[in-house]
Amino acid sequence: MGSGRGNCCVGNCSVGNSVGKKNNVRNGNVANCCVGDCSVGDCGVANCCVGDYGVGNTSAPTESNNTDEISNAKIRIQEMAQTTEDDLFSLVNQSTAELKDFLNQFAVEKYEEEELKFDLENLNTIEKKFIAELSGFIVAKVERRLIPEDKEVVVILGEPNNAKRRKNFEAFYERLFCNAVKDLISKTATFFQVQSESIDKDISALEKNLEDKGKHSDKLVDVHELTKQFVEDKKNSVCDVLKAHINQVKEMIPVKSIRLQDIAAELDFTTAGDDEAEIFSLKYAHEADENSLAIAYSEKDILMTKAQNVLTKPRLVPVQKNFLYCDFKEFNAAIIKVARLMIAEGIYPDYEKNFEQTARDNSMFGANVEIGEGTIIAPFVSIGENVKLGKNCRIDSGVFIGSGSRIGDNVKILSGSRVGVNCHYHYDFDGKQKSFCGVGRTIIKDGVEIGANTVIQRGTFSDTVIGAGTIIGNLVEIAHDVKIGADCLIVSQVGIAGNVTIGDRVQIFGQSGIKDWVTIGEGAIILSKSGVTKNIRAGQKVSGMFSREHKDELRRLAKLKKIIKEE
Protein backbone atom coordinates (compact mmCIF):
# COMPACT_ATOMS: atom_id res chain seq x y z
CA MET A 1 0.00 0.00 0.00
CA GLY A 2 1.45 3.33 -0.98
CA SER A 3 1.29 6.25 1.41
CA GLY A 4 3.09 8.97 -0.47
CA ARG A 5 5.75 8.75 2.34
CA GLY A 6 8.48 6.43 1.09
CA ASN A 7 7.42 2.81 1.48
CA CYS A 8 5.30 3.16 4.60
CA CYS A 9 2.84 0.28 4.87
CA VAL A 10 -0.18 1.03 7.04
CA GLY A 11 -2.23 -2.09 7.68
CA ASN A 12 -4.49 -3.58 10.31
CA CYS A 13 -4.82 -0.20 11.97
CA SER A 14 -7.34 2.53 12.61
CA VAL A 15 -6.68 6.02 11.31
CA GLY A 16 -7.55 8.83 13.71
CA ASN A 17 -6.39 12.34 14.60
CA SER A 18 -4.96 12.54 11.07
CA VAL A 19 -3.16 15.73 10.14
CA GLY A 20 -2.38 16.95 6.62
CA LYS A 21 -3.67 18.97 3.72
CA LYS A 22 -4.87 15.87 1.89
CA ASN A 23 -6.26 12.84 3.65
CA ASN A 24 -7.02 10.16 1.11
CA VAL A 25 -8.10 7.15 3.22
CA ARG A 26 -9.34 4.33 1.01
CA ASN A 27 -8.66 0.62 1.56
CA GLY A 28 -5.85 1.48 3.94
CA ASN A 29 -4.20 3.99 1.58
CA VAL A 30 -3.04 7.09 3.45
CA ALA A 31 -1.67 10.03 1.50
CA ASN A 32 0.12 13.06 2.97
CA CYS A 33 -1.19 12.03 6.35
CA CYS A 34 0.13 11.52 9.86
CA VAL A 35 -1.56 8.34 11.02
CA GLY A 36 -3.08 8.26 14.51
CA ASP A 37 -0.93 10.07 17.06
CA CYS A 38 2.22 8.90 15.30
CA SER A 39 4.81 11.58 14.53
CA VAL A 40 7.03 11.14 11.48
CA GLY A 41 10.17 11.34 13.62
CA ASP A 42 9.13 8.67 16.10
CA CYS A 43 7.94 6.19 13.52
CA GLY A 44 10.59 6.78 10.90
CA VAL A 45 7.98 6.88 8.16
CA ALA A 46 10.30 6.00 5.27
CA ASN A 47 10.58 2.25 4.86
CA CYS A 48 8.47 1.79 8.00
CA CYS A 49 5.76 -0.78 8.54
CA VAL A 50 3.04 0.30 10.95
CA GLY A 51 0.81 -2.71 11.49
CA ASP A 52 0.96 -5.32 14.19
CA TYR A 53 2.63 -2.87 16.57
CA GLY A 54 -0.39 -0.57 16.43
CA VAL A 55 -0.42 3.11 15.45
CA GLY A 56 0.76 5.89 17.76
CA ASN A 57 4.39 6.51 18.80
CA THR A 58 5.06 2.84 18.16
CA SER A 59 7.91 1.01 16.47
CA ALA A 60 9.74 -2.24 16.72
CA PRO A 61 12.58 -1.82 19.25
CA THR A 62 16.07 -2.06 17.82
CA GLU A 63 19.43 -2.80 19.42
CA SER A 64 20.45 0.82 18.82
CA ASN A 65 17.30 2.10 20.54
CA ASN A 66 17.91 -0.22 23.50
CA THR A 67 21.47 1.05 23.86
CA ASP A 68 20.20 4.63 23.86
CA GLU A 69 17.55 3.76 26.48
CA ILE A 70 20.19 2.24 28.76
CA SER A 71 22.59 5.16 28.23
CA ASN A 72 19.86 7.68 29.07
CA ALA A 73 18.94 5.67 32.15
CA LYS A 74 22.54 5.70 33.35
CA ILE A 75 22.71 9.47 32.94
CA ARG A 76 19.48 9.88 34.94
CA ILE A 77 20.73 7.54 37.69
CA GLN A 78 24.02 9.44 37.90
CA GLU A 79 22.12 12.71 38.40
CA MET A 80 19.87 11.20 41.09
CA ALA A 81 22.78 9.47 42.81
CA GLN A 82 24.89 12.63 42.83
CA THR A 83 22.14 14.56 44.61
CA THR A 84 21.57 11.79 47.14
CA GLU A 85 25.26 11.21 47.91
CA ASP A 86 25.98 14.95 48.15
CA ASP A 87 23.21 15.28 50.73
CA LEU A 88 24.42 12.22 52.62
CA PHE A 89 28.10 13.17 52.78
CA SER A 90 27.29 16.76 53.74
CA LEU A 91 25.09 15.53 56.59
CA VAL A 92 27.70 12.99 57.72
CA ASN A 93 30.38 15.69 57.76
CA GLN A 94 28.12 18.04 59.72
CA SER A 95 27.16 15.23 62.11
CA THR A 96 30.79 14.34 62.85
CA ALA A 97 31.62 17.98 63.55
CA GLU A 98 28.67 18.30 65.93
CA LEU A 99 29.60 15.02 67.60
CA LYS A 100 33.15 16.26 68.30
CA ASP A 101 31.79 19.49 69.79
CA PHE A 102 29.41 17.44 71.91
CA LEU A 103 32.23 15.23 73.20
CA ASN A 104 34.49 18.17 74.02
CA GLN A 105 32.15 19.30 76.81
CA PHE A 106 32.83 16.03 78.65
CA ALA A 107 36.57 16.15 78.06
CA VAL A 108 36.99 19.32 80.17
CA GLU A 109 35.49 17.67 83.26
CA LYS A 110 37.27 15.54 85.86
CA TYR A 111 36.20 12.00 86.73
CA GLU A 112 37.68 11.08 90.11
CA GLU A 113 40.57 13.41 89.23
CA GLU A 114 41.04 11.66 85.87
CA GLU A 115 40.51 13.11 82.39
CA LEU A 116 38.28 11.61 79.69
CA LYS A 117 40.12 11.69 76.39
CA PHE A 118 38.25 10.96 73.16
CA ASP A 119 40.08 9.93 70.00
CA LEU A 120 38.55 12.63 67.80
CA GLU A 121 40.99 11.91 65.01
CA ASN A 122 39.65 8.38 64.79
CA LEU A 123 36.15 9.78 64.24
CA ASN A 124 37.54 11.78 61.31
CA THR A 125 39.21 8.66 59.95
CA ILE A 126 35.94 6.69 60.17
CA GLU A 127 34.14 9.46 58.31
CA LYS A 128 36.73 9.68 55.53
CA LYS A 129 36.73 5.91 55.07
CA PHE A 130 32.92 5.88 54.86
CA ILE A 131 32.85 8.61 52.20
CA ALA A 132 35.67 7.03 50.20
CA GLU A 133 34.03 3.60 50.17
CA LEU A 134 30.53 4.80 49.32
CA SER A 135 31.28 7.46 46.70
CA GLY A 136 29.66 6.13 43.56
CA PHE A 137 27.98 3.29 45.48
CA ILE A 138 24.48 3.91 44.05
CA VAL A 139 25.64 4.16 40.44
CA ALA A 140 27.80 1.04 40.71
CA LYS A 141 24.96 -1.01 42.21
CA VAL A 142 22.36 0.12 39.69
CA GLU A 143 24.59 -0.21 36.62
CA ARG A 144 25.19 -3.88 37.42
CA ARG A 145 21.60 -4.40 36.21
CA LEU A 146 21.54 -1.75 33.48
CA ILE A 147 23.07 -3.99 30.84
CA PRO A 148 21.53 -5.39 27.62
CA GLU A 149 22.04 -8.97 28.84
CA ASP A 150 19.96 -8.56 32.02
CA LYS A 151 16.87 -10.78 31.76
CA GLU A 152 14.45 -8.12 33.03
CA VAL A 153 15.99 -5.48 30.77
CA VAL A 154 15.54 -7.79 27.77
CA VAL A 155 11.84 -8.25 28.54
CA ILE A 156 11.14 -4.58 29.21
CA LEU A 157 13.01 -3.23 26.18
CA GLY A 158 11.42 -5.88 23.99
CA GLU A 159 8.06 -4.11 24.36
CA PRO A 160 7.12 -2.69 20.90
CA ASN A 161 5.02 0.20 22.21
CA ASN A 162 7.35 3.16 22.76
CA ALA A 163 5.36 4.85 25.52
CA LYS A 164 4.81 1.62 27.46
CA ARG A 165 8.46 0.58 27.04
CA ARG A 166 9.77 3.89 28.35
CA LYS A 167 7.34 3.92 31.26
CA ASN A 168 8.24 0.37 32.29
CA PHE A 169 11.97 0.98 31.91
CA GLU A 170 11.82 4.16 33.98
CA ALA A 171 9.97 2.27 36.71
CA PHE A 172 12.61 -0.49 36.52
CA TYR A 173 15.68 1.69 37.01
CA GLU A 174 13.90 3.88 39.57
CA ARG A 175 13.24 0.72 41.61
CA LEU A 176 16.93 -0.16 41.30
CA PHE A 177 17.78 3.31 42.58
CA CYS A 178 15.46 2.94 45.58
CA ASN A 179 16.97 -0.44 46.42
CA ALA A 180 20.49 0.96 46.20
CA VAL A 181 19.56 3.81 48.57
CA LYS A 182 18.05 1.27 50.99
CA ASP A 183 21.42 -0.51 51.02
CA LEU A 184 23.07 2.86 51.54
CA ILE A 185 20.86 3.45 54.58
CA SER A 186 22.04 0.15 56.03
CA LYS A 187 25.68 1.12 55.49
CA THR A 188 25.04 4.56 56.98
CA ALA A 189 23.61 2.96 60.10
CA THR A 190 26.75 0.83 60.31
CA PHE A 191 28.90 3.98 60.03
CA PHE A 192 27.21 5.53 63.06
CA GLN A 193 27.53 2.25 64.92
CA VAL A 194 31.30 2.27 64.30
CA GLN A 195 31.52 5.85 65.59
CA SER A 196 29.55 4.87 68.67
CA GLU A 197 31.86 1.92 69.30
CA SER A 198 34.89 4.22 69.06
CA ILE A 199 33.40 6.48 71.75
CA ASP A 200 32.50 3.47 73.93
CA LYS A 201 36.10 2.29 73.68
CA ASP A 202 37.40 5.62 75.01
CA ILE A 203 34.91 5.65 77.90
CA SER A 204 35.67 2.00 78.74
CA ALA A 205 39.40 2.77 78.83
CA LEU A 206 38.85 5.41 81.53
CA GLU A 207 36.48 3.12 83.46
CA LYS A 208 39.13 0.38 83.50
CA ASN A 209 41.77 2.89 84.59
CA LEU A 210 39.56 3.98 87.51
CA GLU A 211 38.76 0.38 88.36
CA ASP A 212 42.47 -0.49 88.54
CA LYS A 213 42.82 2.32 91.06
CA GLY A 214 39.80 1.15 93.03
CA LYS A 215 37.68 4.08 91.92
CA HIS A 216 34.31 4.51 90.21
CA SER A 217 32.56 7.49 88.61
CA ASP A 218 28.78 7.57 88.19
CA LYS A 219 29.25 10.49 85.79
CA LEU A 220 30.85 8.16 83.24
CA VAL A 221 27.67 6.10 83.13
CA ASP A 222 25.73 9.26 82.27
CA VAL A 223 28.30 10.22 79.62
CA HIS A 224 27.96 6.79 78.04
CA GLU A 225 24.16 7.07 77.81
CA LEU A 226 24.22 10.67 76.56
CA THR A 227 26.77 10.00 73.82
CA LYS A 228 25.00 6.86 72.73
CA GLN A 229 21.69 8.72 72.42
CA PHE A 230 23.36 11.61 70.56
CA VAL A 231 24.81 9.27 67.92
CA GLU A 232 21.49 7.41 67.65
CA ASP A 233 19.63 10.68 67.03
CA LYS A 234 22.12 11.70 64.35
CA LYS A 235 21.82 8.32 62.67
CA ASN A 236 18.02 8.59 62.57
CA SER A 237 18.20 12.13 61.25
CA VAL A 238 20.54 11.25 58.39
CA CYS A 239 18.68 8.03 57.50
CA ASP A 240 15.39 9.93 57.41
CA VAL A 241 16.82 12.20 54.72
CA LEU A 242 17.79 9.16 52.65
CA LYS A 243 14.33 7.68 53.14
CA ALA A 244 12.86 10.96 51.87
CA HIS A 245 14.91 10.52 48.67
CA ILE A 246 13.43 7.03 48.29
CA ASN A 247 9.87 8.21 48.90
CA GLN A 248 10.25 11.00 46.37
CA VAL A 249 11.27 8.52 43.68
CA LYS A 250 8.74 5.87 44.74
CA GLU A 251 5.89 8.30 44.12
CA MET A 252 6.82 8.26 40.43
CA ILE A 253 6.86 4.46 40.18
CA PRO A 254 3.46 3.16 38.97
CA VAL A 255 4.03 -0.39 40.24
CA LYS A 256 5.64 -0.71 43.66
CA SER A 257 7.81 -3.59 44.89
CA ILE A 258 10.02 -4.64 47.79
CA ARG A 259 13.02 -6.97 47.97
CA LEU A 260 13.12 -10.16 50.00
CA GLN A 261 16.09 -8.83 51.99
CA ASP A 262 14.16 -5.68 52.91
CA ILE A 263 11.26 -7.74 54.25
CA ALA A 264 13.69 -9.95 56.18
CA ALA A 265 15.53 -6.97 57.66
CA GLU A 266 12.35 -5.18 58.69
CA LEU A 267 10.64 -8.22 60.24
CA ASP A 268 13.70 -10.14 61.45
CA PHE A 269 13.03 -13.05 59.10
CA THR A 270 15.64 -15.22 57.37
CA THR A 271 16.22 -15.60 53.63
CA ALA A 272 17.64 -18.34 51.44
CA GLY A 273 18.42 -17.95 47.75
CA ASP A 274 18.43 -14.62 45.92
CA ASP A 275 17.51 -12.10 48.62
CA GLU A 276 17.48 -9.24 46.07
CA ALA A 277 14.45 -10.74 44.31
CA GLU A 278 11.72 -8.14 43.76
CA ILE A 279 8.30 -8.85 45.27
CA PHE A 280 5.25 -7.19 43.70
CA SER A 281 2.44 -8.99 45.53
CA LEU A 282 1.59 -11.44 48.30
CA LYS A 283 -0.64 -14.35 47.24
CA TYR A 284 -1.70 -17.83 48.17
CA ALA A 285 0.58 -20.45 46.63
CA HIS A 286 -1.98 -21.73 44.09
CA GLU A 287 -2.63 -18.21 42.74
CA ALA A 288 0.89 -16.77 42.92
CA ASP A 289 2.80 -15.83 39.77
CA GLU A 290 6.52 -15.40 39.23
CA ASN A 291 6.46 -11.86 40.66
CA SER A 292 4.58 -12.84 43.82
CA LEU A 293 5.61 -13.95 47.27
CA ALA A 294 3.74 -17.25 47.66
CA ILE A 295 2.20 -18.16 51.01
CA ALA A 296 3.13 -21.82 51.50
CA TYR A 297 1.48 -23.74 54.32
CA SER A 298 3.00 -27.06 53.24
CA GLU A 299 5.69 -28.66 51.10
CA LYS A 300 3.01 -29.37 48.50
CA ASP A 301 2.33 -25.62 48.22
CA ILE A 302 6.03 -24.96 47.62
CA LEU A 303 6.31 -27.58 44.89
CA MET A 304 3.15 -26.60 43.00
CA THR A 305 3.38 -22.80 43.06
CA LYS A 306 4.55 -20.88 40.00
CA ALA A 307 6.21 -18.29 42.24
CA GLN A 308 9.98 -18.22 42.63
CA ASN A 309 9.67 -16.56 46.04
CA VAL A 310 8.10 -18.39 48.97
CA LEU A 311 7.07 -17.38 52.50
CA THR A 312 7.00 -20.40 54.79
CA LYS A 313 8.08 -21.88 58.09
CA PRO A 314 11.67 -23.20 58.22
CA ARG A 315 11.77 -26.41 56.20
CA LEU A 316 14.02 -28.19 53.70
CA VAL A 317 12.54 -28.69 50.23
CA PRO A 318 14.54 -29.93 47.21
CA VAL A 319 13.61 -27.07 44.87
CA GLN A 320 15.40 -24.02 43.41
CA LYS A 321 13.41 -21.14 44.86
CA ASN A 322 14.00 -18.09 47.04
CA PHE A 323 12.72 -18.51 50.59
CA LEU A 324 11.62 -16.12 53.30
CA TYR A 325 11.53 -18.01 56.59
CA CYS A 326 9.66 -16.73 59.64
CA ASP A 327 10.34 -17.76 63.22
CA PHE A 328 6.82 -17.18 64.45
CA LYS A 329 4.93 -20.04 65.99
CA GLU A 330 1.83 -18.36 64.61
CA PHE A 331 2.49 -18.53 60.85
CA ASN A 332 -0.64 -16.51 60.06
CA ALA A 333 0.66 -13.65 62.18
CA ALA A 334 3.89 -13.66 60.14
CA ILE A 335 1.86 -13.46 56.91
CA ILE A 336 -0.04 -10.44 58.21
CA LYS A 337 3.22 -8.74 59.19
CA VAL A 338 4.42 -9.09 55.60
CA ALA A 339 1.09 -7.78 54.29
CA ARG A 340 1.17 -4.74 56.58
CA LEU A 341 4.75 -3.99 55.50
CA MET A 342 3.67 -4.11 51.85
CA ILE A 343 0.83 -1.72 52.68
CA ALA A 344 3.33 0.65 54.31
CA GLU A 345 5.52 0.41 51.18
CA GLY A 346 2.59 1.47 48.98
CA ILE A 347 2.31 -1.88 47.21
CA TYR A 348 -1.24 -2.32 48.50
CA PRO A 349 -3.81 0.29 49.56
CA ASP A 350 -4.60 0.62 53.25
CA TYR A 351 -8.25 -0.32 53.59
CA GLU A 352 -8.23 0.28 57.34
CA LYS A 353 -7.54 3.99 57.05
CA ASN A 354 -10.29 6.58 57.22
CA PHE A 355 -11.10 8.38 53.97
CA GLU A 356 -13.07 11.43 53.03
CA GLN A 357 -16.39 11.20 51.20
CA THR A 358 -18.33 13.80 49.26
CA ALA A 359 -22.13 14.09 49.45
CA ARG A 360 -23.89 13.94 46.09
CA ASP A 361 -27.56 13.19 45.34
CA ASN A 362 -28.14 12.12 48.96
CA SER A 363 -25.36 9.51 48.80
CA MET A 364 -21.70 9.53 49.83
CA PHE A 365 -18.79 9.00 47.45
CA GLY A 366 -15.08 8.50 48.06
CA ALA A 367 -12.37 9.73 45.70
CA ASN A 368 -11.92 8.30 42.18
CA VAL A 369 -15.33 6.68 41.81
CA GLU A 370 -16.26 5.84 38.21
CA ILE A 371 -19.94 5.34 37.37
CA GLY A 372 -21.02 3.90 34.01
CA GLU A 373 -23.69 5.30 31.75
CA GLY A 374 -27.25 4.48 32.75
CA THR A 375 -26.36 3.38 36.30
CA ILE A 376 -28.88 4.44 38.94
CA ILE A 377 -27.77 5.02 42.54
CA ALA A 378 -30.55 5.45 45.09
CA PRO A 379 -30.24 7.75 48.13
CA PHE A 380 -28.25 6.77 51.24
CA VAL A 381 -25.67 4.70 49.39
CA SER A 382 -22.06 4.81 50.60
CA ILE A 383 -19.22 4.15 48.14
CA GLY A 384 -15.52 3.98 49.05
CA GLU A 385 -12.44 5.08 47.14
CA ASN A 386 -11.28 3.87 43.71
CA VAL A 387 -14.51 2.05 42.92
CA LYS A 388 -15.67 1.30 39.36
CA LEU A 389 -19.34 0.69 38.54
CA GLY A 390 -20.32 -0.45 35.06
CA LYS A 391 -23.21 0.55 32.82
CA ASN A 392 -26.92 0.17 33.56
CA CYS A 393 -26.49 -0.96 37.18
CA ARG A 394 -29.06 -0.43 39.93
CA ILE A 395 -27.80 0.24 43.45
CA ASP A 396 -30.66 0.44 45.96
CA SER A 397 -30.74 2.57 49.10
CA GLY A 398 -28.63 1.65 52.09
CA VAL A 399 -26.03 -0.24 50.04
CA PHE A 400 -22.34 0.00 50.95
CA ILE A 401 -19.61 -0.64 48.32
CA GLY A 402 -16.10 -0.86 49.76
CA SER A 403 -12.95 0.74 48.38
CA GLY A 404 -11.31 -0.89 45.39
CA SER A 405 -14.42 -2.82 44.34
CA ARG A 406 -15.16 -3.51 40.68
CA ILE A 407 -18.81 -3.80 39.62
CA GLY A 408 -19.63 -4.93 36.07
CA ASP A 409 -22.49 -3.93 33.76
CA ASN A 410 -26.18 -4.62 34.47
CA VAL A 411 -25.60 -5.47 38.13
CA LYS A 412 -28.42 -5.15 40.69
CA ILE A 413 -27.67 -4.73 44.41
CA LEU A 414 -30.73 -4.57 46.67
CA SER A 415 -31.18 -2.53 49.82
CA GLY A 416 -28.90 -2.92 52.81
CA SER A 417 -26.28 -5.12 51.15
CA ARG A 418 -22.57 -4.70 51.87
CA VAL A 419 -20.22 -5.42 48.97
CA GLY A 420 -16.45 -5.28 49.41
CA VAL A 421 -16.44 -4.89 53.18
CA ASN A 422 -13.13 -5.46 54.95
CA CYS A 423 -12.60 -9.16 55.43
CA HIS A 424 -12.55 -10.70 58.91
CA TYR A 425 -9.36 -12.69 58.56
CA HIS A 426 -8.84 -13.92 62.10
CA TYR A 427 -5.51 -15.10 63.45
CA ASP A 428 -3.96 -15.83 66.81
CA PHE A 429 -1.00 -13.78 68.05
CA ASP A 430 0.48 -14.13 71.53
CA GLY A 431 -2.65 -15.94 72.64
CA LYS A 432 -4.95 -13.12 71.52
CA GLN A 433 -7.37 -13.00 68.61
CA LYS A 434 -6.53 -10.43 65.92
CA SER A 435 -8.12 -9.55 62.60
CA PHE A 436 -6.85 -8.18 59.29
CA CYS A 437 -8.77 -6.11 56.73
CA GLY A 438 -7.28 -7.75 53.62
CA VAL A 439 -5.51 -6.34 50.58
CA GLY A 440 -7.68 -7.93 47.88
CA ARG A 441 -10.68 -6.53 46.07
CA THR A 442 -14.26 -7.61 45.43
CA ILE A 443 -15.12 -8.15 41.77
CA ILE A 444 -18.75 -8.47 40.71
CA LYS A 445 -19.03 -9.45 37.05
CA ASP A 446 -21.76 -8.56 34.52
CA GLY A 447 -25.40 -9.36 35.17
CA VAL A 448 -25.08 -10.36 38.82
CA GLU A 449 -28.05 -9.85 41.16
CA ILE A 450 -27.46 -9.48 44.90
CA GLY A 451 -30.39 -9.61 47.32
CA ALA A 452 -31.09 -7.46 50.36
CA ASN A 453 -28.81 -7.41 53.41
CA THR A 454 -26.20 -9.70 51.89
CA VAL A 455 -22.53 -9.33 52.86
CA ILE A 456 -19.62 -9.98 50.50
CA GLN A 457 -16.11 -9.53 51.92
CA ARG A 458 -13.07 -8.35 50.01
CA GLY A 459 -10.23 -10.82 49.47
CA THR A 460 -7.45 -11.23 52.00
CA PHE A 461 -4.56 -11.97 49.62
CA SER A 462 -6.56 -12.43 46.41
CA ASP A 463 -9.82 -11.08 44.99
CA THR A 464 -13.31 -12.24 45.95
CA VAL A 465 -15.02 -12.87 42.61
CA ILE A 466 -18.71 -13.35 41.73
CA GLY A 467 -19.13 -14.75 38.21
CA ALA A 468 -21.34 -13.29 35.49
CA GLY A 469 -25.06 -13.95 35.69
CA THR A 470 -24.99 -15.32 39.25
CA ILE A 471 -28.02 -14.63 41.46
CA ILE A 472 -27.52 -14.27 45.22
CA GLY A 473 -30.48 -14.11 47.59
CA ASN A 474 -31.12 -12.14 50.78
CA LEU A 475 -29.08 -12.48 53.97
CA VAL A 476 -26.21 -14.38 52.37
CA GLU A 477 -22.69 -14.22 53.84
CA ILE A 478 -19.78 -14.65 51.40
CA ALA A 479 -16.39 -14.53 53.09
CA HIS A 480 -12.96 -13.46 51.82
CA ASP A 481 -11.19 -14.93 48.76
CA VAL A 482 -14.27 -16.82 47.57
CA LYS A 483 -14.49 -17.56 43.83
CA ILE A 484 -18.01 -18.14 42.49
CA GLY A 485 -18.49 -19.16 38.86
CA ALA A 486 -21.00 -17.94 36.27
CA ASP A 487 -24.79 -18.44 36.37
CA CYS A 488 -24.89 -19.82 39.90
CA LEU A 489 -27.89 -19.63 42.24
CA ILE A 490 -27.29 -18.99 45.94
CA VAL A 491 -30.49 -18.84 47.97
CA SER A 492 -31.13 -16.87 51.16
CA GLN A 493 -29.28 -17.46 54.43
CA VAL A 494 -26.39 -19.39 52.90
CA GLY A 495 -23.00 -18.98 54.57
CA ILE A 496 -19.81 -19.48 52.54
CA ALA A 497 -16.50 -19.48 54.43
CA GLY A 498 -13.19 -18.14 53.15
CA ASN A 499 -11.27 -19.44 50.12
CA VAL A 500 -14.14 -21.54 48.78
CA THR A 501 -14.14 -22.17 45.02
CA ILE A 502 -17.50 -22.73 43.30
CA GLY A 503 -17.82 -23.77 39.65
CA ASP A 504 -20.30 -22.54 37.04
CA ARG A 505 -24.05 -23.22 37.30
CA VAL A 506 -23.91 -24.42 40.91
CA GLN A 507 -27.11 -24.19 42.97
CA ILE A 508 -26.94 -23.75 46.75
CA PHE A 509 -30.25 -23.69 48.57
CA GLY A 510 -31.29 -21.95 51.80
CA GLN A 511 -29.48 -22.14 55.12
CA SER A 512 -26.62 -24.25 53.82
CA GLY A 513 -23.13 -23.74 55.20
CA ILE A 514 -19.85 -24.31 53.36
CA LYS A 515 -16.52 -24.84 55.12
CA ASP A 516 -13.39 -22.91 54.14
CA TRP A 517 -11.09 -24.14 51.33
CA VAL A 518 -13.80 -26.42 49.89
CA THR A 519 -14.16 -26.77 46.10
CA ILE A 520 -17.59 -27.33 44.57
CA GLY A 521 -17.61 -28.65 41.02
CA GLU A 522 -19.53 -27.30 38.06
CA GLY A 523 -23.28 -27.95 38.04
CA ALA A 524 -23.41 -29.33 41.59
CA ILE A 525 -26.59 -28.95 43.67
CA ILE A 526 -26.52 -28.42 47.43
CA LEU A 527 -29.95 -28.76 48.99
CA SER A 528 -31.28 -26.75 51.94
CA LYS A 529 -29.65 -26.92 55.36
CA SER A 530 -26.68 -28.92 54.09
CA GLY A 531 -23.32 -28.76 55.84
CA VAL A 532 -20.53 -28.94 53.27
CA THR A 533 -17.21 -29.91 54.84
CA LYS A 534 -15.52 -31.62 51.89
CA ASN A 535 -15.13 -31.14 48.14
CA ILE A 536 -18.21 -31.75 45.97
CA ARG A 537 -17.79 -33.29 42.52
CA ALA A 538 -19.14 -31.70 39.36
CA GLY A 539 -22.82 -32.53 38.88
CA GLN A 540 -23.16 -34.07 42.35
CA LYS A 541 -26.39 -33.51 44.32
CA VAL A 542 -25.93 -33.49 48.10
CA SER A 543 -27.98 -32.88 51.23
CA GLY A 544 -27.87 -33.22 54.98
CA MET A 545 -25.48 -32.32 57.76
CA PHE A 546 -22.61 -34.26 56.17
CA SER A 547 -23.39 -33.35 52.52
CA ARG A 548 -23.89 -36.93 51.36
CA GLU A 549 -25.32 -37.91 47.99
CA HIS A 550 -28.98 -36.90 48.19
CA LYS A 551 -30.32 -40.41 47.45
CA ASP A 552 -28.04 -41.93 50.10
CA GLU A 553 -29.15 -39.33 52.59
CA LEU A 554 -32.83 -40.10 51.91
CA ARG A 555 -32.20 -43.83 52.48
CA ARG A 556 -30.46 -43.07 55.78
CA LEU A 557 -33.37 -40.90 56.88
CA ALA A 558 -35.84 -43.63 55.94
CA LYS A 559 -33.91 -46.21 57.99
CA LEU A 560 -33.69 -43.83 60.93
CA LYS A 561 -37.42 -43.16 60.74
CA LYS A 562 -38.11 -46.91 60.72
CA ILE A 563 -35.87 -47.48 63.77
CA ILE A 564 -37.57 -44.69 65.70
CA LYS A 565 -41.00 -46.01 64.76
CA GLU A 566 -40.12 -49.55 65.92
CA GLU A 567 -38.97 -48.24 69.29
Structural domains present in the chain: 1-60 (no CATH), 63-250 (no CATH), 258-344 (3.40.1390.10), 358-558 (2.160.10.10)
Active site residue 426: no
Residue 27 or residue 274, greater confidence: 274
Element spanning 85, H or E: helix 63-107
- Helix/strand/coil for 264: helix
Mean pLDDT of the chain: 86
In the predicted model, what is the mean pLDDT of residues 297-312?
Answer: 95
> What does DSSP say about strands 110-111 and 114-115: parallel, antiparallel, or unpaired?
antiparallel
Residue 335 banded pLDDT, cuts 50, 70, 90: very high
pTM: 0.71
Following DSSP, what letter does each residue of 527-545 receive, concatenated?
-TT-EE-S-B-TT-EEETT
Residue 255 or residue 168, greater confidence: 168
Residue 62 banded pLDDT, cuts 50, 70, 90: low
Model confidence over 240-298: pLDDT tens digits?
999 998 888 888 777 789 999 999 999 999 999 999 999 999 999 999 998 899 999 99
* Residue 239 predicted with pLDDT over 90: yes
In the predicted model, what is the mean pLDDT of residues 339-366?
Answer: 94
Instruction: Look at 103-112, 233-242, 457-466 and tell me which has the smallest mean pLDDT.
Output: 103-112
* Residue 222 predicted with pLDDT over 70: yes
User: What pLDDT score does 567 carry?
Assistant: 59
The whole-angstrom separation of Cα 553 and Cα 542 is 8
* Residue 26 predicted with pLDDT over 80: no
Instruction: Look at 223-227, 375-379, 475-479 and tell me which has the smallest mean pLDDT.
Output: 223-227
User: What pLDDT score does 127 carry?
Assistant: 94
User: What pLDDT score does 188 carry?
Assistant: 95
* Residue 54 predicted with pLDDT over 50: no
Model confidence over 481-510: pLDDT tens digits?
999 999 999 999 999 999 999 999 999 999
Residue 105 or residue 439, greater confidence: 439
Select which of 224, 424, 480, 550 is catalytic.
480
In the predicted model, what is the mean pLDDT of residues 114-137?
Answer: 92
Cα torsion angle, 78, 84, 85, 86, sign: positive
Contact, 45 vs 33, CB < 8 A? no
In the predicted model, what is the mean pLDDT of residues 106-117?
Answer: 82
User: What pLDDT score does 53 carry?
Assistant: 36
Instruction: Give how far the C-alpha of residue 278 lies from the chain's centroid of Cα atoms, to the nearest Å.
Output: 11
Residue 109 banded pLDDT, cuts 50, 70, 90: confident
Sheet containing strand 507-508, strands side by side: 376-377, 394-395, 412-413, 449-450, 471-472, 489-490, 507-508, 525-526, 541-543, 548-549
Cβ atoms within 10 Å, residue 555: 12
Element spanning 304, H or E: helix 299-304
In the predicted model, what is the mean pLDDT of residues 182-189?
Answer: 93
Highest mean pLDDT: which of 26-40, 65-79, 298-312?
298-312
User: What pLDDT score does 315 carry?
Assistant: 87
* Residue 122 predicted with pLDDT over 70: yes
* N- to C-terminal Cα separation, the chain: 93
Contact, 423 vs 438, CB < 8 A? yes
Packed helices 63-107 and 218-250: angle between N→C axes, nearest 10 degrees = 160
Instruction: Look at 22-26, 402-406, 516-520 and tell me which has the smallest mean pLDDT.
Output: 22-26
The whole-angstrom separation of Cα 497 and Cα 533 is 10
* List of E strands, 458-565: 464-466, 471-472, 477-478, 483-484, 489-490, 495-496, 501-502, 507-508, 513-514, 519-520, 525-526, 531-532, 541-543, 548-549
The whole-angstrom separation of Cα 539 and Cα 279 is 40
In the predicted model, what is the mean pLDDT of residues 424-451?
Answer: 92
